[in-house]
Structure 1
Amino acid sequence: MVNIHCAYSEQINPSSSSLTLTRNQIWKGLQRKIRNAQDFVPVIDKTEVVEDKDGVVTRITYYDTKEDQPGHTVKEVCKEYHPTKVDFHQPNGTLITNTISDGPSLKDEGLCMTYTFEWQYPKVEDGSDEHKKLIAEHVQMAKDAVQSSIEAMRKMAKAGELGQ
């Protein structure tokens, strides 16, 4: 069995951006992501909220069929830690964390988004070719997830859907 841990961070408001997202807007975006993941992650078809109480959301996430795997559903427990992070707990032990962090400026312009992933693979051997392949795939997936989430939040902010 192997555990695969990876993380990817990206600046949310690079100098090339025409719009500066505020921490409040980003937090609202993460709350929306919990309840409507399909707006942020292209492989998710829909999200069904089963329970929403006191900063803990239980949801069913429906994934589209991909080239290498059939469509499937995952029940997740999402815990909000205002205004910094959201943890997505899956029944198989997987933990995904979305974190808003300050950069050196300690201003909105320096905010970063980090996604951390912890996957468990009981049938994969440490150091095997499959293990190495999974690491590379998951690092790319982390990068893609951060970038697609920031892009989705920008579109929502431009449309006035995230407030100020």
Structure 2
Amino acid sequence: MVTINVAYTQAVNPAGVTPVLTREQMWAGMEGKVRRAHDFVPVFSDCKVIEEHDNVVVRETTLKPMEGRPGKTQQETCRLYKPVKVDFHEPSGCVITNMLSDGPAMTDEELQMTYFFEWPHPDIEAGSDIEKGLTEQHKKRGKMSVEKSIESIRRMVVAGKL
């Protein structure tokens, strides 16, 4: 068994990109992603909230078919740690953390978004070519997830939806 851990960080407000997103806007987007995953990350086709209490949201998400695997619906538990972090717990044991952090100046202009992924693969041998290939796939998925989330939040802010 192997667990593949990858993380990707990106500046929320790189030079020249407007509008500058505030921490409050980013957090509103992160909360929105919990309830409407399909509006933020293109691998989802649907998302329904099943229950919500004490900063915990249980949702049902539908993943689109991709990379040779069929689409599937699964129940996830999301834990919100306002205004910094959301943990998504999948039934497979996968944990995805979305985190908003400050840069050196601690201003909105230097906000950073990091996604950390912990993917257990019980049938994969450590050090195998399969593990190496999956690690590269997961890195690409992580990068795409961060980029698309920030793009979606920026688009919603511009449209007046956040």
Residue identity matched to 1:156: M
Stretches of structure 1 lacking an aligned partner (at least 5 in a row)? none
Aligned to 1:144: 144
TM-score after normalising by structure 1:
0.97
Stretches of structure 2 lacking an aligned partner (at least 5 in a row)? none
Alpha-carbon distance in structure 2 between the residues aligned to 1:21 and 1:126: 40
Instruction: Kindly provide the CA deviation profile for residues 92-140 of structure 1, in whole angstroms up to 9, marking residues without a partner as x.
Output: 2110000000001100000000000000000000010000000001011
Aligned to 1:155: 155
1:91-130 → structure 2 map (5 Å cutoff):
91-130=91-130
Residue identity matched to 2:5: H
Alpha-carbon distance in structure 2 between the residues aligned to 1:43 and 1:94: 16
Aligned to 1:45: 45
Alpha-carbon distance in structure 2 between the residues aligned to 1:93 and 1:124: 15
- Count residues in correspondence: 162
1:91 is displaced (CA, Å) by: 1.7
CA RMSD of aligned residues (A): 0.7
Alpha-carbon distance in structure 2 between the residues aligned to 1:19 and 1:93: 37
The more displaced of 113-122 and 59-68 is: 59-68
Give 4+ residue runs of structure 1 displaced > 2 Å after superposition.
Answer: none
Equivalent position SS for 2:17:
coil
Alpha-carbon distance in structure 2 between the residues aligned to 1:124 and 1:21: 40
Alpha-carbon distance in structure 1 between the residues aligned to 2:51 and 2:15: 39
